[in-house]
Structure 1
Amino acid sequence: MRISKMRYFFPIGTFLFLFLDGSVSQIFASSFFSPTRAVESRLILLWLVLAICYGEVEHLLLWAALAGLMFDLYFTGVLGIFTLLLPFMVYLTRNILTFFKPSFIVVLLIYLIDVTVLTALFYWVNVLIGFTSVSIVTFIGRTLGPTLAFNLASYVLLYWPLKRFFEIFR
């Protein structure tokens, strides 16, 4: 019986990408956040999407829930939002992927759909609990557009190294 190295590397990578989400936002805060723009880094989602597409990770929904809980504890201050949203995104991605064979373009489109859905649901929940009163038009122009652009660039830079990682340690 062979024990997969992914069993050890995936949790480390999950928390590394959680850390990177916060670090990138902190380092580039002056560029990411202004009166006309708010960019949200979704590197943890990229990690999960590529794990679904190219990795063989056990208990991925559980890992997504734990990553969401850590994200909520550290970044949002409201428990439950990402704890529920990240496993939902894993579920959604798995279901979308049943219709397609993973490739650079297919995974890119799935990732952009996931970023859009995650960011929109996060906005909607924040409107429901009264954390924001920004209109949907302002949200799309100020947050969703720049978030998609940043995460597209992140995807292009990280796709090949992460794909290779998941294929090696499968």
Structure 2
Amino acid sequence: MAFWQFTRLKFVYPVILLILFFLDGTLMSALGGYFTHFPFHILPMLTFVWLFFGIQFKVYQDIPFWWYVLLIGVMFDAYYTGIFGTYIIAFLLGTLIMKQLHYWLDERIIAGLLLLLIGIVVYLIITYFAGFIIGIANISLLNFLIYQLVPTVILNVFIGAIFYYPTWSFFQVLN
């Protein structure tokens, strides 16, 4: 890989990650009435989907990926929740499990979406239990699974499916 391609990937990946970080909040703010229509609570997780693409298409090998994961977790904690540690652990464990499972799954779309599904479930369960421990999650586990986890997984796996091949092509251009 030429130096300019490596540099381009190191620049473009975190810039898009930062844009998606703010887009997550903007979508939740602008469409919060739809996403939190009783009894459902759907979270757009574009940032996590972008991290998934970094793992699925092996971009993590060419950039300081884990520093980006750590930084985005700190930013989520500081900007969106104000509780330090929850999203750091959720992002790190969700992406780490996806990376470990990626060894057994290939780059086909169905295997990739299964990987994304597992990563989102891990992410959401970690945030739920962290909220439960500190007392801000006041719903039962069954309600969480039915009214938050399932709709959130459906939305984000759908987003991952729509952008799977365009993102793959995008990374091919950058490499």
TM-score of the aligned structures, taking structure 1 as reference length: 0.94
Identity %: 22
The match for 2:152 is: 147
Give yes or no for the alignment of 1:88 onto 2:90: no
The match for 1:119 is: 124
**1:105-140 alpha-carbon deviations (Å, 9 max, x no partner):** 111000011111111110011000111121011111
Is the contact made by 1:51 and 1:57 (CA closer than 8 Å) also made in structure 2? no
Unaligned ranges ≥5, structure 2: none
Select 1:105's aligned residue among 94, 103, 110. 110
Give yes or no for the alignment of 1:166 onto 2:171: yes
**1:50-99 alpha-carbon deviations (Å, 9 max, x no partner):** 11121244221110010111111111121111122212222111110111
Give yes or no for the alignment of 1:23 onto 2:26: yes
The match for 1:69 is: 74
Spell out structure 1 runs of 4+ moving beyond 6 A: none
The one-letter amino acid of 1:9's match is: V
CA distance in 2, matches of 1:99, 1:122: 26
Aligned length: 170
Is the contact made by 1:62 and 1:87 (CA closer than 8 Å) also made in structure 2? no
The match for 1:36 is: 39
Q: CA deviation at 1:166?
A: 1.6
CA distance in 1, matches of 2:110, 2:25: 27
TM-score of the aligned structures, taking structure 2 as reference length: 0.91
CA distance in 1, matches of 2:81, 2:62: 27
Unaligned ranges ≥5, structure 1: none
